[in-house]
Amino acid sequence: MTRRVDGPGPVGNVPGGRGVVGAAAGMALGFAGWFGGFGAFLVVGALGALGWFAGHLADRGTALREFLDELAGRRR
């Protein structure tokens, strides 16, 4: 049995799937923009993207060094 990563449905134990996660991220960005201004909005967005990227690498089982080596075109 294979698992499709990009498909709709629950993410981990979160009910509602990616829509709920996306709504939570949007609300976090909205609160940051409202209370902290545009600079806080950008910081929260950048840190969220960095967290997503780290989680994506962890889900795939790829180490950061492996990813950077592939990005630079170095093969073992």
**Inside any domain, residue 38:** yes
Q: Whole-model pTM?
A: 0.57
In a domain, 1, yes or no: no
Is 25 exposed, middle or buried, given 0-12, 13-18 or 19+ CB atoms closer than 10 A?
middle
Report residue 49's pLDDT band, with 50, 70 and 90 as the boundaries.
confident
Question: Is residue 60 included in any domain, yes or no?
Answer: yes
- Print the domain residue range for 38: 16-73
- Considering the domain boundaries, does residue 35 fall inside one? yes
> Does residue 43 fall inside a structural domain?
yes
Q: Tell me whether residue 10 is in a domain.
A: no
Position 23 scores a pLDDT of: 79
Residue 65 inside a domain? The answer is yes
Q: Region 24-40: what's the mean pLDDT?
A: 88
Q: How many CB atoms lie within 10 A of CB 32?
A: 20
Number of domain units in the chain: 1
pLDDT (average), residues 6-25: 64
